[in-house]
C-alpha cells in the first residue's frame, strides 16, 4: 500500500467504493487522514462500514463543512454529460476534487529514496487503443531483463494498492482519460501516447475534450521523456508542442506503417519489421513477424511504444527482443485460445469499438468473424474497408439484425448467442482460417463486461472442440 501523504489529521471524503475507492480510503487512513466514504449503492456502503470506515451521506447539506478534499472514483462523471451533484457540492464548498492517481503522484516518493542507489521511476501510458497491451508488455520486458517493476492503474491493481518502491524499481501505469482528466498531480518520468480515436465522447464533451483529457499527462506532467504515436494528427501536434526542435531526443516519435525520418529519436514498424533510428542512423531492429504474442499492425505499434519506453531506461535492443518473444499477450486482446485442424481461435473481446475491431481484422486473413453487441455512436462504416479479410460474419447480441445489415457486401449470419456463433463458425471453418471474436461493440446487452464475454467465447470454443 502507498500511504497518502499531506492529509494527516484532516477529513478526506471518498466518493465511490469500487476497487479504487476502497483502496483510496485504506491508503488515506494509513497516511494519517480521516476518511469518510459514500457510495450510492447500499451494499457498497455496508461493506465499507464492516471494514471499519465511517459512512457520511455526501448528498446532505453541510457534508463538506470539515472536509479537506474529495477523492472521486474514475467511473463517476465530474463535468460531462453533467456534473455529479456531490462533486458540484464540493465545488460550491471550495473543496478540492482529486482522484487516486493524483494522490499516488503526491505520495509515491518518500524519504527512504535518499538511501537508494537508483531512484525509482514511473512510466505512464495513455491512448485510445493498445495502452493495456503496451503497459503489460513494458512490465514484462522489465521483469525479463531483471528490473524490479510493478504494474497498476487501469490494468490490474489500483495505484494505491502498490507496494512502496524498491531501489531502482519501475512502476508501469496504464491511465485512462477518466484518470488523467481529474488528477491534480501528474508527474511521470516517462509518458507514452499510443494513439487517439473517438471514444468516451459523452464523458468528455466531444473529441476535443477527450484529447485534452489525455494531453494533460504530457502538458501538465512534464515527463523527462515522451513517447508519442504520430499516426494521427493529434499525436503529431502533441510531439511538436513538446519538442524544442530537430534532434530533441526527449521526444521519441513512434509509428506503425510509416517510415519516420529526421535527426530525432524514432521507432517505427513497416511490413513487420521494427526499426530504431537516432540522429539519422539505424541503431536497432526486430523482426516482429516471428513474435506470436503481438500479431498485426496494431500490436506492432504497441511493440514500438514499449520498445521506445524501455530504451529510454537504458535496456538494450537484444534484451528487449528476447523478452518480446516470451510475451504471451493479455486475456481478451488478440489472445490465442486454441488451434485445431489448422484453424486458430482468437479472443479479442476487448475490441469494443470500431477502430479496435478494424485493427483486429487487419491482423488476420480468412476470418470467420464473431461480432456484435451494444453498438456505439458512429455506425460501422469504419469496418467496411477491411471486410475483404472476412470469409463470413457471425453476429451476436440484441441488435444483431441491424448490425448485420450494416456490414455491406459481407456474408453475415445472425446467430444471436455466442454459443450459436462459435458452433457455426467452427463447423464452417477450413484449415488456414481464423475464428476471431472482435465484437466492435460494447458487451452490456448480454454480458456484465467484455471480460465475461471473452470468457464465454473461451468456454464455447472449448466445448465445440471437445
| Distance set, CA 391 to CA 122, 387, 408, 430 (Å) | 44, 8, 13, 10
CA angle 398-19-148, nearest 5°?
Answer: 115
Q: Determine whether 111 is exposed, middle or buried from the number of CB atoms within 10 Å of its CB (0-12, 13-18, 19+).
A: exposed
124: closest CA among 302, 294, 309? 309
**DSSP letter assigned to residue 337:** E
According to DSSP, residue 386 is labeled: G
Torsion angles phi and psi, residue 223, rounded to 5: -65, 155
- In whole angstroms, give the CA distance from residue 375 to residue 87: 30
Distance separating alpha carbons of residues 371 and 352, to the nearest angstrom:
10
How far apart are the C-alpha atoms of 380 and 25, rounded to whole Å? 42
* Sequence-ordered list of residues with C-beta below 8 angstroms from that of 41, at least 6 positions apart, any chain: 17
Give buried/exposed letters for 66-91 (b at 16+ CB in 10 A, else e): ebbbbbbbbebbbbbeeebebbebbe
Instruction: Decide: 95 and 70 in contact? Cβ < 8 Å.
Output: yes
Determine phi and psi for 437, rounding to 5 degrees: -90, 110
The rounded radius of gyration (Å) of the Cα atoms in the chain is 23
Q: Which residues are annotated as a binding site?
A: 127-133
HEC-encoded secondary structure of 13-55: EEECCCHHHHHHHHHHHHCCCEEEEECCCHHHHHHHHHCCCEE
> Residue 267 and residue 360: Cα distance in Å, rounded?
22
Cβ–Cβ < 8 Å for 376, 310: no
Is 19:26 a contact under the CB 8 Å cutoff? Answer: no
**What are the cell numbers at 159?**
495505484
Q: Which residues are annotated as a binding site for ATP?
A: 127-133
Residue with cell 519501475: 170
Element (H, E) at 192: strand 190-193
How far is the first Cα of the chain from the last one, in angstroms, to the nearest whole number? 44
Between CA 234 and CA 230 the distance in angstroms is 8
List Cβ neighbours of 267 (8 Å cut-off, separation of 6 or more).
Answer: 252, 253, 254, 260, 274, 275, 276, 277, 304, 305, 307, 308, 311
Q: Give me the count of residues in the chain.
A: 466
C-alpha cell read off for 236: 503529431
Amino acid at each position: 500500500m502507498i500511504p497518502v501523504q499531506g492529509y494527516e489529521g484532516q477529513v478526506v471524503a471518498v466518493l465511490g467504493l469500487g476497487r479504487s475507492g476502497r483502496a483510496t480510503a485504506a491508503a488515506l487512513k494509513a497516511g494519517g487522514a480521516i476518511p469518510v466514504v459514500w457510495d450510492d449503492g447500499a451494499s457498497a456502503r455496508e461493506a465499507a462500514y464492516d471494514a471499519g470506515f465511517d459512512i457520511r451521506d455526501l448528498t446532505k447539506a453541510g457534508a463538506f463543512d470539515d472536509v479537506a478534499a474529495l477523492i472521486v472514483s474514475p467511473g463517476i462523471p465530474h463535468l460531462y454529460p453533467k456534473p455529479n451533484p456531490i462533486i458540484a457540492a464540493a465545488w460550491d464548498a471550495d473543496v478540492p476534487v482529486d482522484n487516486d492517481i493524483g494522490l499516488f503522484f503526491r505520495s509515491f516518493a518518500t524519504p527512504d529514496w535518499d538511501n537508494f542507489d537508483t531512484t525509482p521511476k514511473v512510466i505512464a501510458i495513455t491512448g485510445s487503443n493498445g495502452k493495456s497491451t503496451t503497459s503489460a508488455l513494458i512490465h514484462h520486458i522489465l521483469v525479463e531483463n531483471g528490473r524490479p517493476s510493478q504494474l497498476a492503474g487501469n490494468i490490474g491493481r489500483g495505484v494505491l494498492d502498490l507496494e512502496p518502491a524498491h531501489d531502482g524499481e519501475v512502476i508501469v501505469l496504464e491511465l485512462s482519460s477518466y484518470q488523467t482528466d481529474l488528477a491534480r498531480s501528474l508527474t511521470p518520468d516517462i509518458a507514452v501516447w499510443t494513439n487517439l480515436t473517438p471514444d468516451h465522447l459523452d464523458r468528455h464533451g466531444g473529441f476535443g475534450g477527450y484529447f485534452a483529457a489525455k494531453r494533460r499527462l504530457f502538458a501538465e506532467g512534464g515527463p523527462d521523456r515522451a513517447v508519442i504515436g504520430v499516426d494521427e494528427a493529434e499525436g503529431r501536434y502533441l510531439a511538436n508542442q513538446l519538442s524544442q526542435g530537430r534532434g530533441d531526443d526527449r521526444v521519441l516519435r513512434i509509428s506503425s506503417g510509416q517510415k519516420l525520418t529526421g535527426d530525432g529519436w524514432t521507432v517505427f514498424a513497416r511490413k513487420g519489421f521494427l526499426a530504431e533510428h537516432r540522429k539519422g542512423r539505424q541503431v536497432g531492429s526486430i523482426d516482429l513477424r516471428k513474435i506470436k504474442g503481438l500479431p498485426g499492425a496494431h500490436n506492432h505499434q504497441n511493440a514500438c511504444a514499449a520498445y521506445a519506453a524501455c530504451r529510454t531506461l537504458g535496456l538494450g535492443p537484444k534484451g528487449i527482443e528476447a523478452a518480446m518473444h516470451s510475451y504471451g499477450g493479455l486475456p481478451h486482446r488478440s489472445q490465442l485460445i486454441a488451434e485445431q485442424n489448422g484453424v486458430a481461435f482468437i479472443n479479442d473481446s476487448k475490441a469494443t469499438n470500431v477502430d479496435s475491431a478494424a485493427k483486429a481484422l487487419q491482423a488476420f486473413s480468412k476470418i470467420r468473424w464473431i461480432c456484435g453487441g451494444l453498438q456505439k455512436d458512429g455506425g460501422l462504416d469504419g469496418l467496411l474497408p477491411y471486410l475483404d479479410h472476412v470469409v463470413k460474419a457471425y453476429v451476436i447480441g440484441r441488435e444483431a439484425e441491424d448490425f448485420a445489415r450494416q456490414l455491406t457486401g459481407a456474408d453475415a449470419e445472425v446467430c444471436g448467442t455466442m454459443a450459436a456463433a462459435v458452433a457455426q463458425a467452427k463447423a464452417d471453418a477450413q484449415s488456414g482460417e481464423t475464428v476471431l471474436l472482435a465484437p466492435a461493440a460494447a458487451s452490456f446487452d448480454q454480458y456484465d463486461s467484455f471480460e465475461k464475454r471473452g470468457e464465454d467465447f473461451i468456454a464455447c470454443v472449448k466445448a465445440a472442440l471437445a
